Amino acid sequence: MSNKPTNSIIVDGVVVAIFSGITYDVKINYHSVEHIVKCSVSGKVRKTFVDIKVGDKVSILINLEDINKGSIVSLLSNQTKK
């Protein structure tokens, strides 16, 4: 059984901005329409202390009732190299 609510979708995007370390702007491309979503970090990702930077690919959960807000549910890959 999935924890995903029935009126939401999971989309992949790229982090374009970080605000105060807990809020992110994520650029998504959904059905060839680009959109910026304001995202926070989900509890599971926050517990594992994942370091999210600008340019990282993430998977976000968007509620269809408010498509301007989302939650980062996983880090897909790091684009920035140290």
Q: What is the pLDDT of residues 22-60, one digit of tens each?
A: 899 999 998 888 999 999 888 877 777 778 899 999 999
Over range 66-72, report the average pLDDT: 91
> Can you give the pTM of this predicted structure?
0.80
In this structure, CATH architecture of domain 8-77: Beta Barrel (2.40)
Give CA separation, 68 vs 28, 36, 78, in Å: 11, 7, 24
φ/ψ (deg, to 5) at 46: -65, -40
Listed by start position, the domains of the chain span 8-77
Query: According to the model, what pLDDT value does residue 31 have?
Result: 84
Q: How confident is the model at residue 4 (pLDDT cuts 50, 70, 90)?
A: low
pLDDT of residue 5: 57
